[in-house]
Amino acid sequence: MRDGILAAIYLAVDDLNAQLPAENRLEKDEATAIVGDRAKLDSLNVVNLIISVEERVNERLTSPLNLVEKFVESEKGPPETLGALATLILELRPAC
């Protein structure tokens, strides 16, 4: 299941990278930072990425996941890397 979630995240990265200048594009790697000091994204691009990830993940799930809502409600703050995002999705996902 994690591989499928990562594949969906990487498709969302491709979507976002198509809109970004070369120096701001994300690598498709679990260690890639999406927030924090190491991140290349501004807040608008983080939101765009999360929306795209939500759409891509929901294509694979039988029940939709509202990832944006979970981000807003999270007490832990947003995941800092693509791998942490995948872990969060696995924890939150409805039964498939």
| Residues 81-93 pLDDT 10s | 999 999 999 988 7
The residue written with tokens 């993940």 in the block is 57
The whole-number pLDDT of residue 47 equals: 92
Please list the pLDDT of the chain residue by residue as tens digits (96 residues): 899 999 999 999 999 999 999 999 999 999 999 999 999 999 999 999 999 999 999 998 878 888 888 777 777 778 999 999 999 999 887 654
Nearest to 79 by CA among 8, 70, 10: 70
20 in the Ramachandran plot: left (φ > 0), alpha (ψ -120 to 50) or beta? beta
Q: 3-state DSSP call for residue 71? A: helix
Supply the DSSP symbol for 22. Answer: G
Helix (H) and strand (E) counts in the chain: 4, 0
